[in-house]
A and B are shown apart, each in its own frame.
Chain A
Amino acid sequence: MEKARISAFQLFILIVLFELGSAMIVPLAIEAKQGAWLAILIGAAGGCGIFLIYYALFRYYPDESPVHFVRHIIGSVPGKIVAFLYILYFLYLSARVVRDFGEMLITIAYVETPLFVLNLLMVLLAVYTIRKGIEVLARTGELLFIVLAFLFLSAFLLIAAGGTLDYGNLKPVMGEGLAPIVKTAFTQTIYFPFGEIFAFMMIMPYVTDPKKVKRTGLLAITASGFVLASIMAANTGVLGVELVNRSLFPLLATIQSIELADFLERLDVYFMLAAIIGGFVKITLFLYVSVAAAADLFKVKKPSQLAYPLGVVVLLLSIMIAGSLPEHIQEGIKLVPLYLHLPFQVILPALVLLVAFVRHKGRGKEGEAK
């Protein structure tokens, strides 16, 4: 762990930017059709639940990085193995997001540019930021948040003023009952994006006021849930379920539909700016967490030394994980939530928490006996 301190407010902003990151540009929870926004809100509630598991673990060891305390809980060797698996998991997630953005850029504007080059630039920026440390990332987040907030507010205003919003598209809510919505929430939205807050286990020890972590985390998840829900509602309202379902980046289509006063049209830059800011924060955080965890696990004295090697790993991984965009998306929807997110985000932390709980209870009794 580096010697750094971030405020609870900075944690809030990082979580919000992180959650919005890649979730805002994809057709999130569209399996729930008109109920997508509801599925997202349920997912946010579930995310809050998962966050409480992480928070309980954090409460046992508020000053230590998870790489350390997992060894206290389940023993040295199994702890190291688990920590190593998590590093791989974060690297993979980081590479996934890099790939997402590379593919998005190719689709919307850079048809001729090689994926490798686009990804390289993004990873370079992430590595540059990581070498500056978490404090700088947190401060950068604060400034980027202002930009993003301005973009969102003005975009919503323009959509509302543009008259392209058709509330009829949002109906019927729960036309097929609650079942598909809940199913979508539990198979998708809880894990992506809300469960990914697990990465913040590595960030929480930096917060100056540990008492505020719980409130900040829950508030941030709820806030980002509402923003994502309103984005999906706006997408559905403007484009209709069918179009959202078919388009890869519904937010782009929504923003392109803005036409005002014969001048404010084709605001693709809006979308690009928002998407790149979100992607940057998400990639950088994932990469930062893997760098910090790897430095802790392998006792590297200068964590920033790991930024370049792991950056290269992420870059290569982002090219290799899928042969094509459809394959990448299929993996993301079908395989990753079930085989990666569920065990790493819910099952393993819950088990570790259980062990920690039992151990601490035992220790507490011993303490009383003494």
Chain B
Amino acid sequence: MQENKNISFGHNEFNIQGKVKGAMASFFKRRKKSIQISKNEEPGSGQEKKKEETGPMQAGKSEESSAGKSGEASQKQPDALYTSLAANLDKIKRKTGNSPDVVIRPIKVGGAQAELETAVVYVKGLVDDQSIHDFLIESLMNNAELQKELSPEKAMKTIKDDVVAIGGIKSVKKWDDLFADLMSGNALILIDGSEEALMASTQGGQRRSVQEPTTNVAIRGSKESFTESLETNQAMVRRIINNPDLWVESMNLGKMTKTSVSIMYINGIAKKEIVDEVRTRLKQIDIDSILESGYIEQLIEDQTMTTFPTVYHTERPDAVAGNLLEGRVAVFVNGTPFVLLAPAVFIQFFQSVEDYYARFDISTAIRFLRVLIFFISLVGPAVYIAATTFHQEMIPTALAIIVAAQRESSPFPAFVEAIIMEVTFEILREAGLRLPKAIGATVSIVGGLVVGQAAVQAGIVSPAMLIVVAITAIASFATPSYAIAISARLIRFLFMVSAAMFGFYGLILALIMLIVHLCSLRSFGIPYMSPLAPVIPSELGDTIVRKPLWAFGKRPQLIAAENRTREGKNQKPKPPESRGMKHYTRKEEKDET
């Protein structure tokens, strides 16, 4: 039309003709559309099917090419739902491969004269059967309003507003959204003649109930542990922090699994840059599946060439709450009880929730013990190897004689001996971990008594070596975080090699290298060794030592945002003066004067 105008400038006749053409075209469009609808009402027509078989993209193209005829292309997108119920149900069936657990329940509503076909679609097992039956199907069947004569649009509105007694309901127009919702456990309500579908949130089904934590066991503190359900997990944290500033953002990750993942943080406490960083890193994930939070952990960490965890994970809601209150960001993944916390610092892995529940002196002592434990599990066998092979003069004489006497009968050098015992122990541990509990006990007897005792009696390993290996093993179990214990387990062998080759020199160099490596790590931009290095004097009180709770003034400055005040001043308890001897006598004197 535009071209026409330009060419025939001044020729009014042509112009008018053009306008008339346009008007006629739009008139036909309307006619065609009404014809199309009436055709669609007959399921047997097969027109839709033909289009479908050529695939959605091609169907769109062919529609565009035949735009002049049908005149519908400009309105309909390839992804949109069809008007016909039968066509929609057909598409659902084909897309799900006729899987029997996708339940399609047709229901007829409307008056006797004008019956309106509807259908409820849901996936068995993913939905809560109770709410499907009571609030969806039954109310659809028995609602008086729906027994009157209704147009599809009116029926849709009535169902949405009056009939379905379920909290979350929304309308869906695209196939992608429809399938995403259907497969996550929502129920669909389709109505013949409407291009929209209603989606009622009926997620439910069998999940593991809330149980006691099995990995982060604490003697004091909440006995709840996260479950596999994302919603339950979020709710458990919300029950601890009853504050509207606790914000949640959700997304679906994994092209095949469409796993729901959500990040949780406290607005005003969490640093905006860190939240943004977590969000962008999550959004960058392009993978087919997310089966556990470990997938996410490995895809968002800062440094991949390290054995140390730079993202913390826990299954305790109170640990998540505590960390959120320090300004960290939690990442929940549906299908796993392990929630990620970022940014993580090294010293965090030596802390446990009950450190904050117990008094500070006890917590501090236990934290010192934990660092010692970590150190022993790291260098235990290495020190033994270095001392017995390179630096015998450094062992006190009496002890040196005992060790030497034991080693006399051993056919192997200390390093080989240590490697044999360490590997044996690792095998035992791995075996014990995977076996059923009943057999696990047998393994520990066979391993502990038979292998250990027999190896010493046969003279293959010296008893001193066995003691060292045993202490190391227990130490590695006593480290509160499995993630850090397992990295110590791996690095231990490196230390043993360096100690076997160069004695204490090699060991010290390896230790310095470890420190350099730890200092080079970052977790979401935060130096891993902070607040020890770079040292932040005001925060040293919550590292290896734990200052009294009433002295916790501020949140960590590298992690928390503007709202850093944790508690008011003068939080030290001030009980009434005691009736001690000193006070009593003083009062007496006062009374006399």
Contacts and interface: CB of A to CB of B under 8 A. Distances in A.
Contacts of A133: 520
Contacts of A262: 396
A142 B537 CA distance: 12
Contacts of A138: 534
Interface string A252-286: 00000000001101111100110011001000000
B516 interface: yes
A10 interface: yes
A259 B515 CA distance: 31
A140 B391 contact: no
A310 B535 CA distance: 31
Nearest to A136: B520
Given A128-B513, A143-B529, 13 more contacts: A109-B391, A110-B390, A118-B505, A121-B509, A128-B516, A139-B527, A142-B533, A262-B396, A265-B396, A268-B393, A269-B391, A269-B394, A276-B508
B455 interface: no
Nearest to B399: A263
Contacts of A140: 512, 515-516, 519, 533
Contacts of B508: 272-273, 276-277
B504 interface: yes
B526 interface: no
A129 interface: yes
A105 interface: yes
Interface string A108-152: 011001000010011001001100110011111011101000000
Interface in B529-553: 529, 532-535
Given A10-B534, A113-B502, A268-B391, A143 B515 contact: yes
A186 interface: no
Interface residues of B, number: 25
A177 B502 CA distance: 47
Interface of B: 390-391, 393-396, 502-506, 508-509, 512-513, 515-516, 519-520, 527, 529, 532-535
B520 A7 contact: no
Contacts of A128: 513, 516
Contacts of B509: 121-122, 125, 276, 280
A122 B534 CA distance: 24
B502 A121 contact: yes
Contacts of A118: 502, 505
A157 B393 CA distance: 23
A272 B504 contact: yes
Given A269-B394, A276-B505, A139 B512 contact: no
B505 A109 contact: yes
Contacts of A144: 512, 515
Nearest to B513: A125
A275 B502 CA distance: 16
B396 A142 contact: no
A132 B533 CA distance: 15
Contact of A9 (B390, B515, B535): B535
Residue of B395, B513, B519 ringed by the most chain A CB atoms within 10 A: B519
A129 B516 contact: yes
B501 to A, nearest CB: 9
A136 B503 contact: no
A150 to B, nearest CB: 13
Nearest to B512: A280
Contacts of B391: 109, 268-269
Interface of A: 7, 9-10, 105, 109-110, 113, 118, 121-122, 125, 128-129, 132-133, 136-140, 142-144, 146, 262-263, 265-269, 272-273, 276-277, 280
A266 B515 contact: no
A259 to B, nearest CB: 10
A113 B509 CA distance: 16
Nearest to B505: A105
Contacts of A269: 391, 394, 504
Contacts of A137: 516
Nearest to A141: B533
B505 A121 contact: yes
A9 B533 CA distance: 11
A268 B512 contact: no
Contacts of B390: 109-110
18 contacts: A105-B505, A109-B391, A109-B503, A113-B502, A118-B505, A121-B502, A128-B513, A139-B519, A139-B533, A140-B515, A140-B519, A142-B532, A142-B534, A142-B535, A144-B512, A269-B394, A273-B508, A276-B509
B394 A266 contact: yes
Given A132-B516, A144-B512, A110 B505 contact: yes
Contact of B512 (A10, A110, A142, A276): A276
B3 to A, nearest CB: 57
Contacts of B535: 9, 142
Contacts of B394: 266-269
B526 to A, nearest CB: 12
Given A263-B396, A268-B391, A121 B519 contact: no
A113 B519 CA distance: 31
A268 B502 CA distance: 15
A193 to B, nearest CB: 20
A27 B509 CA distance: 25
Contacts of A146: 532
A272 B519 contact: no
Given A110-B503, A125-B513, A272-B505, A139 B393 contact: no
B532 A143 contact: yes
A139 B534 contact: yes
Contacts of A110: 390, 502-503, 505
Considering the complex of A and B, which 5 residue pairs feature the smallest CB-CB distances, nearest first? A139-B533, A139-B519, A142-B533, A132-B520, A136-B520
A137 B529 CA distance: 13
Nearest to A280: B512
Nearest to A284: B516
A203 to B, nearest CB: 15
A266 B503 CA distance: 16
A142 B535 CA distance: 7
Residue of A129, A265, A277 ringed by the most chain B CB atoms within 10 A: A129
A138 B390 CA distance: 32
Nearest to B532: A143
Contacts of B534: 7, 10, 138-139, 142
Contact of B519 (A7, A143, A276): A143
Contacts of A267: 394
B541 to A, nearest CB: 16
Residue of B515, B516, B520 ringed by the most chain A CB atoms within 10 A: B516
A136 B519 CA distance: 6
A266 B396 CA distance: 8
Contacts of A7: 534
A105 B532 CA distance: 31
Contacts of B533: 139-140, 142-143
Contacts of A109: 390-391, 503-505
